[in-house]
């Protein structure tokens, strides 16, 4: 496959526009660290929401969906669809709380909520742990997808793909800061959606597929079309598949695991965008738009390409035969997505490749800006140079951006497939999610609770991944059981640490409550004590909106899941269930529009 001058022109035009937007935003981004990382905190909900969607629309996401679909069928996507529950909870309960805090990063929250040296340690360590270590793993996973796309579509070696992708994105990210990221994300969202739909249309038109009807009748996909995993527990393998892809994600995973972009209670680059919003209502609106588009709008074009790839390249051996020059170590099921893109015609090939470049730049630029915000605000300024000028802080942010891009590119050369990285990160965060949800509503949680959760979850993940089998001679447990055990062990550890250590200082608790106004019975002791001391912290006439927020969360999930599944049924030609679910989705949406203003109001 070779790109023509038309394809290269489309790619060149896109890169030129993206670079111009970055250059245009450079001057304002350099004014202060608040401008470089939060764009002055006056961004509208629609721009922030689209930026969230564009960030999660990465080059590794369609590869990841293809990997799950080829191995576990369409229903295997419940592995990540279950995180909608987390997302909707953030929308209707936590978004306005984050905006009220006024912090620059979510790890700055630690010294707002907790007290003393443990809080300072937690802030500094998490800044490096999340902003550098975890962030580099995420970017490496995204860069792995770039390696596979470069190998299949352009004939690049892994090193060539990493060097080119890293150079282009690092230059762009260091120029415009967060404002440049937001502006280009707006462009990248539409380009990426057009590219995904175009890829699906071309894949369905492949002679071996024979259109949508031919795809659905093909024996290679017949057992992969179900939208819900089979509950026929015939054998250990089918039981593990049901637990791994459906039961555990919907019952345990969504609230118990920390995963970037789906953090229980919000966090990371999602929190960054909520903190950059004009006010609480814009923060809620941004996260609502993100979750609706991420789960209801985008999955099906990727799924259709994945199903078509099972017809064209049924086995890994078919992929190896079709691409003999690709390094055999990266020929996994996720390679099937870029493999299907090789059938795109002139012009459309350039458009789709530009959309994949756009997806890569959007995700990486967000993670670079988010990670460097931790390095600058929560490590360098907090512990190294508290009196640093704004100019120096922006410079450190730009230097850390380049350094993290280089480290991520190096790690990408070691990874093999996208699901591998997803599982590692999910296991490391297992058991910490409940803490992130409750720390807003239970005063007794302290810095030692978070330290215990972080340390124990990491050690458990390392044990399962690297120690258990070689040291004890015990075979690896099924992934689902490792995850549940990790959740249980970590939860017991941090709850125990909570009751064995001193609580946060009363003055810090009162200050936090006065600022965030979380409400609820978990703060009753603090509120009553403050009132008794003549220092009331609760706003007069304030109502606890969490019960209404939980109701909106469930209705929001019904709206998005209804739309997602209805689309699938319509594609399959099952009209009646499609209509029923469409009615459910429409009714839920009407309810949300009538009630969400109450939840998002200050």
Mean pLDDT of the chain: 85
Look at the block and give the residue holding tokens 């549940």.
484
pLDDT value at 602 more than 50: no
Give the pLDDT score at 373. Answer: 86
Instruction: List the structure tokens of 590.
Output: 């009407």
What are the tokens at 43?
């961004």
**Which residues touch 215 (CB under 8 Å, ≥6 apart)?**
204, 209, 221, 304, 307, 308, 311
Residues 27-40 pLDDT 10s: 665 555 666 666 76
C-alpha 464, offset from chain centre: 24
> Quick one: pLDDT at residue 569?
95
Burial class of residue 21 in the structure, from the number of CB atoms within 10 Å of its CB (0-12 exposed, 13-18 middle, 19+ buried): buried
Tokens 């992929």, residue? Answer: 319
Mean pLDDT of 478-485: 81
- Neighbouring CB atoms inside 10 A of 478's CB total 16
- How large is the average pLDDT for residues 312-326? 88
Q: CA–CA separation, 224 vs 64, rounded Å?
A: 16
pLDDT of residue 261: 74
Average pLDDT of the residues in 436-458: 94
* Per-residue model confidence as pLDDT tens digits over 323-378: 888 778 778 888 898 889 888 888 888 888 887 777 787 788 788 888 888 898 89
Tokens found for residue 369: 């800006």
543-565 exposure pattern, b = at least 16 Cβ within 10 A, e = fewer: eebbebbeebbebbbbbbbbbbb
Q: What are phi and psi of 32, to 5 degrees?
A: -160, 165
Please give the pLDDT value at position 305. 95
Sign of CA dihedral 113, 116, 122, 127: positive
pLDDT at 522 over 90: yes
If you average pLDDT over residues 473-484, what whole number do you get? 76
Q: Would you say 440 and 480 are in contact if contact means Cβ atoms under 8 Å apart?
A: no
The band of 314, judged by pLDDT with boundaries at 50, 70 and 90, is very high
Burial of 227 from C-beta contacts in 10 A (0-12 / 13-18 / 19+): middle
Looking at residue 601, the DSSP 8-state letter turns out to be -
Residue 16, judged by CB atoms within 10 A of its CB (0-12, 13-18, 19+), counts as exposed
pLDDT of 554 over the 50 cut: yes
**Mean pLDDT value across residues 489-507:** 95
Helix (H) or strand (E) run with residue 566 in it: helix 546-572
Within a 10 A sphere around the Cβ of 251, how many other Cβ atoms? 13
Alpha carbon distance 539, 529 (integer Å) = 15
The predicted model scores a pTM of: 0.86
Two structure tokens written together for 134: 């975890």
Strand partners, 277: 43
pLDDT for position 584 = 96
Query: Under 8 Å CB-to-CB from 405, ≥6 apart: which residues?
Result: 139, 166, 169, 170, 173, 364, 368
| Phi, psi values for residue 142, rounded to 5° | -65, -40
Please report where in the chains the tokens 């935003």 appear, as a residue: 25
The tokens describing 234, both together, are 């015939």
Separation of CA 278 from chain center:
23
Q: Closest by alpha carbon to 371, among 119, 138, 110?
A: 138
Q: Report, as an integer, the average pLDDT of 108-113.
A: 93
Give percent helix, percent strand, percent coil of the chain, each to the nearest 5.
Answer: 80, 0, 20
Evaluate if residue 418 carries a pLDDT over 60.
no
- Indicate the SS3 state at residue 277: strand
Nearest to 407 by CA among 162, 126, 174: 162
- pLDDT at residue number 420: 58
Q: Please work out, in degrees rounded to the nearest 5, the angle formed at the alpha carbon of residue 188 by the alpha carbons of 187 and 192.
A: 130
Q: Between these two residues, 421 and 533, which has the higher pLDDT value? A: 533
Residue 515's Cβ-count burial label (10 Å; 0-12, 13-18, 19+) is middle
551 vs 39: which has the higher pLDDT: 551
Residue 441: predicted pLDDT = 95
**% of the chain residues with pLDDT over 90:** 35
Cα-atom radius of gyration of the chain, to the nearest Å? Answer: 24
The pLDDT value recorded for residue 327 is 76
Encode pLDDT of 214-248 as tens digits. 999 999 998 899 998 877 656 555 677 788 788 88
With beta carbons less than 8 A apart as the criterion, state whether 468 and 236 touch.
no
Question: In whole angstroms, what separates CA 343 from the centre of its chain?
Answer: 30
The predicted pLDDT at position 470 comes to 65
* pLDDT band (50, 70, 90) for residue 88: very high
Judged against a pLDDT cut of 60, whether residue 197 lies above it is answered with yes
Cβ atoms of 105 and 378 within 8 Å: the answer is yes
Question: Percent of the chain, pLDDT > 70?
Answer: 90
pLDDT (tens digit per residue) in 150-179? 777 777 787 888 787 777 777 766 665 667
Q: Return d(Cα 95, Cα 553) in angstroms, integer.
A: 12
Dihedral sign for Cα atoms in the order 592, 594, 598, 602: positive
Mean pLDDT, residues 469-491 taken together: 79
Contact 374, 459 (CB under 8 A): no
Instruction: Give the ranges where 276-417 is alpha helix by DSSP (H).
Output: 280-292, 299-312, 316-322, 336-341, 348-373, 390-412
Name the more confident of 229 and 94.
94
When pLDDT is averaged across residues 125-151 and rounded to a whole number, the result is 82
User: Taking a C-beta distance cutoff of 8 angstroms, is the pair 531, 477 a contact?
Assistant: no
C-alpha 448, offset from chain centre: 26
Q: Per-residue pLDDT tens for 455-475?
A: 998 888 888 877 766 666 667
Angle at 516 between CA 513 and CA 520, to 5 degrees: 65
Residue in the block written with tokens 């009646």: 576
Mean pLDDT of 483-488: 89
In the predicted structure, residue 600 carries a pLDDT above the cut 70:
no
Tokens of residue 21, six digits: 């937007």
- Tell me which of 9-13, 60-64, 540-544 is least confident: 540-544
Using the 8-state DSSP alphabet, how is residue 257 labeled? B
Count of CB atoms within 10 A of residue 226's CB? 14
Find residue 257's DSSP bridge partners.
430
Residue with tokens 């030692």: 448
Phi and psi, residue 257, nearest 5°: -110, 140
377-381 mean pLDDT: 90
């Amino acid at each position: 496959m070779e790109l023509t001058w038309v394809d290269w022109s489309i790619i060149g035009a896109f890169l030129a526009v993206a670079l111009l937007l970055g250059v245009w935003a450079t001057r304002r981004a350099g004014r202060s660290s608040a401008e470089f990382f939060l764009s002055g905190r006056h961004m509208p909900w629609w721009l922030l929401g689209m930026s969230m969607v564009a960030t999660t629309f990465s080059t590794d996401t369609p590869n990841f969906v293809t990997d799950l679909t080829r191995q576990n069928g369409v229903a295997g996507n419940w592995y990540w669809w279950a995180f909608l529950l987390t997302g909707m909870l953030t929308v209707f309960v936590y978004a306005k709380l984050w905006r009220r805090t006024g912090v620059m990063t979510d790890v700055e929250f630690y010294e707002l909520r907790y007290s003393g040296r443990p809080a300072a340690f937690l802030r500094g360590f998490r800044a490096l742990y999340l902003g550098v270590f975890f962030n580099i793993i995420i970017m490496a996973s995204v860069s792995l997808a770039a390696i596979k796309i470069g190998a299949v579509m352009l004939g690049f070696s892994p090193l060539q793909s990493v060097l080119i992708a890293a150079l282009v994105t690092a230059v762009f990210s260091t120029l415009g800061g967060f404002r440049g990221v937001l502006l280009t994300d707006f462009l990248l969202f539409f380009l990426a959606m057009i590219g995904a739909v175009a890829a699906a249309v071309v894949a369905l038109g492949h002679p071996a597929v024979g259109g949508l009807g031919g795809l659905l009748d093909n024996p290679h996909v017949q057992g992969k079309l179900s939208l819900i995993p089979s509950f026929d527990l015939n054998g250990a393998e089918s039981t593990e598949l049901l637990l791994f892809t459906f039961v555990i994600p919907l019952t345990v995973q969504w609230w118990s695991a920390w995963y970037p972009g789906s953090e229980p209670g919000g966090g990371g680059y999602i929190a960054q965008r909520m903190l950059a919003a004009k006010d609480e209502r814009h923060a809620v609106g941004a996260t609502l738009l993100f979750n609706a588009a991420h789960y209801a709008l985008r999955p099906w074009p990727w799924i259709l390409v994945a199903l078509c790839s099972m017809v064209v390249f049924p086995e890994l051996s078919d992929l190896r035969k079709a691409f003999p020059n690709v390094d055999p170590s990266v020929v996994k099921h996720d390679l099937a997505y870029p493999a299907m893109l090789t059938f795109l015609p002139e012009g459309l090939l350039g458009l789709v490749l530009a959309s994949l470049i756009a997806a890569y730049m959007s995700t990486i630029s967000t993670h670079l800006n988010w990670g460097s915000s931790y390095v600058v605000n929560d490590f360098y300024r907090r512990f190294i140079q508290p009196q640093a000028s704004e100019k120096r802080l922006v410079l450190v942010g730009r230097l850390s951006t380049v350094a993290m891009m280089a480290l991520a590119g190096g790690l990408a050369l070691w990874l093999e497939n996208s699901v591998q990285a997803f599982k590692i990160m999910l296991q490391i965060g297992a058991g910490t999610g409940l803490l992130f949800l409750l720390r807003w509503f239970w005063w007794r949680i302290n810095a030692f609770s978070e330290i215990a959760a972080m340390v124990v979850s990491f050690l458990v993940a390392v044990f399962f991944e690297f120690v258990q089998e070689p040291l004890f001679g015990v075979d690896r447990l099924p992934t689902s059981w490792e995850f549940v055990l990790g959740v249980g062990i970590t939860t017991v550890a941090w709850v125990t640490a909570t009751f064995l250590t001193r609580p946060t200082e009363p003055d810090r608790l009162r200050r936090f409550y006065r600022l965030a106004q979380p409400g609820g019975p978990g703060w009753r002791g603090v509120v009553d004590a403050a009132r008794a001391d003549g220092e009331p912290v609760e706003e007069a006439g304030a109502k606890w909106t969490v019960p209404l927020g939980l109701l909106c969360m469930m209705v929001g999930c019904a709206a998005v899941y209804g739309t997602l599944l209805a689309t699938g049924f319509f594609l399959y030609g099952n009209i009646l269930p499609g209509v029923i679910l469409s009615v459910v989705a429409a009714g839920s949406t009407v309810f949300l529009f009538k009630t969400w203003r109450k939840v998002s109001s200050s």
